[in-house]
Amino acid sequence: MMKTNSPLLDTLFLLRKEECITIFTDIQEISQKEEQDAADYFESEFEKERLEFLSDQINCDHKTAVWAAKVLYHSAQLYLIRENTAKDLNKLIPSFKGKRDVSAILSADLLLRFLPQIISVLQNADPEDTLIKMLENILRQFHYSGIGFDLDLENINWEEELKDKTYRKLYLERIVENKAYKLAEIPYINQLLIAEFGMYKEIFWKELKIISN
DSSP string over 82-135: -TT-GGGHHHHSPPP-S--SHHHHHHHHHHHTTHHHHHHHHHHH-TT-HHHHHH
Q: Is 72 exposed, middle or buried (0-12, 13-18, 19+ CB in 10 A)?
A: buried
Buried b (16+ CB within 10 A) or exposed e, 12-46: bbbbbeeeebeeeeebeebeeebbebbbebbeebb
> Within 10 A of 70 (CB to CB), how many other CB atoms are there?
20
Whose CA is closest to 193, among 54, 142, 53, 181?
A: 181
User: pLDDT tens digits for the chain (213 residues)?
Assistant: 455 568 788 888 888 887 777 666 677 788 899 999 999 999 999 999 888 877 788 999 999 999 999 999 999 888 877 666 677 888 899 999 999 999 999 999 999 999 999 999 999 988 999 999 999 999 999 999 999 999 999 889 999 999 999 999 999 999 999 999 999 999 999 999 999 998 888 888 999 999 876
Assess contact for 110 and 134: CB atoms under 8 A: no
Assess contact for 29 and 69: CB atoms under 8 A: no
Say if pTM beats, i.e. exceeds, 0.85.
Answer: yes
Return d(Cα 54, Cα 43) in angstroms, integer. 16
Cα torsion for 33, 38, 39, 43, to the nearest 10°?
A: 140
Three-point CA angle 70, 147, 200, nearest 5°: 145
Return d(Cα 150, Cα 128) in angstroms, integer. 17
